[in-house]
Structure 1
Amino acid sequence: MAVSDFGVLPDGRPVRRLRLGRAPGPVLSVLDLGATVQGLAVTCGDGERREVVLGQGSVEDYLASTDYLGSTVGRYANRIAAGRFPLDGQEVQVGVNDRGNHLHGGPDGFDGRLWQVEEHSDSHARLTLESPDGDQGFPGTLLAGVRYDVLEDRVVIALEARTDAPTVVNLTNHAYVNLDGVGRGTVDDHELTVHADEYTPVDADGIPLGDHATVTGTPFDLREATRLGSVVRSGHEQVAAVRGVDHNFVLRGEGMRPAAVLTSRRTATTMELHTDQPGLQVYTGNFLDGSRPSATGGRYRQGDGIALEPQLFPDTPNHPAWPSAVLRPGEVYRASIEWRFGTS
């Protein structure tokens, strides 16, 4: 495993980059800033090596971004309406940073923190972060961890957390993928399959309107491979409300299982996503507006990548009937993600 200096935080602390794996298999670049996937090179189905995850080239770019490029997001991924929720009979108020709502950990989420590298080798790394009681308004001291393992044809991500007081937790990775290669255009011609019969309608701010709805008869029916460009330009009111897809899909089944397949026919490459989480947030990069520089000096624009974020449902703490986000002392929060690469 190679370790290199990536930059320096404003307070003088160094940021390191870890490289895991070796060609012709996946080679993963992980920053201790945000426990971030900064790059991922894979051998595509046509035999060419490509970078397939959107990354940035400096510490300053990551700190200035609000797009969570490749970051580990928490303490609560996705949105909490007005940043308020009940917990054991008390109302909790957490930080708001997205149109009056809480998003991906709040104004100072885990994506902007320097994580501790606990162990690493040529093929894996484990990083941890301690979030103190009251951090962004969340109760309890939380110890979060993420482990990356790079195998012959896949990347495995294992997330976990422990607390010393009741709190809510929802962690995920926010990588944006483009199987044509970073800088090779949009993912409009990619095809996506999601193993879900229901999705969660949202208002214009991304907050669930109520319960889930059937995907039948909507652009969210991705039970068979569907071209992404046709979905984001469908004109459906839910697509128009958020300028594309930024919705939770209710995954079938329980335990570790296939959740989605992303395919590029141009490079004959597939990425199969497996997870043990109940939901998958599909985000088509709707707010990439050309203001964020890429690692190679370009600019990221709408549709340059797609984020497939396994997690609990958005605003779950305000929906008692949904799978709970509550973590209590003595319990261990766990979430697993696998990206399996193959040939189409």
Structure 2
Amino acid sequence: MPAVIGQFDGQDVREAVLESAEARVSILNYGCVIRDWRVEAFGRAVPCVLGFSEFAPYPVHSKSFGIIAGRVANRIGGASFELGGQRYDLKANEGANILHGGPKGLGSVVWDMEMSGPNTVILRYVSPDGEMGFPGRVEFEVVFRLLGLELVCEMRGVPDRPTPINLAQHNYYNLNGGGDVLGHVLEIAADLYTPVDEALIPTGELLPVGGTHLDFRTPVLIGERDLQRQGIDHNLVLASGDARKLDEPVASLWSEDTGLELQLFSDQPGLQLFNAPTMEIPVPGHDGASYGAFGGVCLEPQGFPDAVNRPEFPDVVATPEKPYFQRLGMRIAPV
């Protein structure tokens, strides 16, 4: 049984530790958080994701560090949508919009947790009908499996009636374990992006990344694509159909300082890129690190933002006959 490391809403918060010869990953049943991910580089176990050494700071200071975001990750404009001729009003938590499933989304509840062998953990949560305003009861399951240097995450959602589901694993990566990520080299296999309005809600267009600060088709420093330090928080459109090879990474991130490289493998149509321009965490992170502006980069494979209000976007409505599934592979290795 995973060890108890804290309490939240009167429930035990537990931590499962997955270990291989090459990596060590700590996962909480609070929000399915990847609390810590260590990989050896130059004789040091580098913490490759942002997080805290104990549970207490998470409900107060975490900026969705390592969570599974949902029921619907990212933003829904106006915190509402129509489905089957009925309008649903949701619990807004970002102005007039809803972000990451609302103030009590999947990333801020306690899940059931059980080990399945030494390197696999299974988390389950039943979201009741009407939670955060979403229709239908949904049985969620998230499975993490550590295979050498690769962490595989499989996400499932089985609803009892049609309802939108769009999950996202929300690590903040920093392959140096501290400082900013402006010197990290990033590559993303995306030719298009979804432009947004001032509230970061997509306009419905798909535009080429060429000539924009979102062009990561070839490896480039994150800082070179954000010269004005205004920040990036956009959905990039990944290749689909015959152009998509699921055994090839959709994104790669590399640090010259540690020689570590992250590769992401995904079956999702989009990837949200966020470089945390205004982050300022008042308590220490792993190994005493201070997490400030550009302290991590989020690479979140998922469906498109506000897709439930955009019929031209890939469908995010799951049904009992067509339940939700996502497979994400995350590999951090020295190169």
Q: 1:304 aligns with which of 295, 298, 308?
A: 295
In the TM superposition, 1:1-344 aligns within 5 A as: 3-11=2-10, 13-23=11-21, 25-44=22-41, 46=42, 48-65=44-61, 67-181=63-177, 183=178, 185-233=179-227, 235=228, 243-254=230-241, 256=246, 257-291=248-282, 293-344=284-335
CA distance in 2, matches of 1:340, 1:54: 16
CA contact (8 A) 2:2 2:114 kept: no
SS at match of 1:39: strand
Q: Which runs of 5+ in 1 are unaligned?
A: none
Counting aligned pairs with the same residue, the percent is 34
CA contact (8 A) 1:26 1:151 kept: no
SS at match of 1:258: coil
CA distance in 2, matches of 1:41, 1:343: 12
1:137-195, CA deviations, whole angstroms, 9 ceiling, x for partnerless residues?
Answer: 000001111000101121111101000011000011101111112x3x11111000000
CA contact (8 A) 1:61 1:293 kept: no
CA contact (8 A) 1:284 1:303 kept: yes
AA of the residue aligned to 1:224: T
1:75-98, CA deviations, whole angstroms, 9 ceiling, x for partnerless residues?
Answer: 000000011111112211111101
SS at match of 1:335: strand
1:114-133, CA deviations, whole angstroms, 9 ceiling, x for partnerless residues?
Answer: 10014433111010100000
CA distance in 1, matches of 2:141, 2:211: 40
> Aligned-pair distance for 1:342?
3.0
> Aligned-pair distance for 1:60?
3.1
> Aligned-pair distance for 1:298?
4.2
CA distance in 1, matches of 2:36, 2:62: 18
AA of the residue aligned to 1:339: M
CA distance in 2, matches of 1:38, 1:173: 12
> Aligned-pair distance for 1:198?
0.5
SS at match of 2:315: coil
Aligned residues: 331
CA distance in 1, matches of 2:84, 2:173: 39
> Aligned-pair distance for 1:10?
4.2
> Aligned-pair distance for 1:287?
3.4
CA contact (8 A) 1:168 1:325 kept: yes
1:279-313, CA deviations, whole angstroms, 9 ceiling, x for partnerless residues?
Answer: 00011022312335424444321111111100000
CA distance in 1, matches of 2:290, 2:198: 26
**TM-score for the superposition, normalised by structure 2:** 0.94
Return 288-297 or 213-222, whichever deviates more.
288-297
CA distance in 1, matches of 2:328, 2:300: 9
CA distance in 1, matches of 2:87, 2:118: 46
CA contact (8 A) 1:26 1:155 kept: no
1:205-249, CA deviations, whole angstroms, 9 ceiling, x for partnerless residues?
Answer: 21112312100111111000010111222x4xxxx7xx3111000
CA distance in 1, matches of 2:162, 2:323: 12
Return 139-148 or 282-291, whichever deviates more.
282-291
Return 324-333 or 191-200, whichever deviates more.
324-333
CA distance in 1, matches of 2:70, 2:294: 24
SS at match of 1:136: helix
CA distance in 1, matches of 2:130, 2:144: 28
CA distance in 2, matches of 1:269, 1:66: 24
**TM-score for the superposition, normalised by structure 1:** 0.92
> Aligned-pair distance for 1:30?
0.2
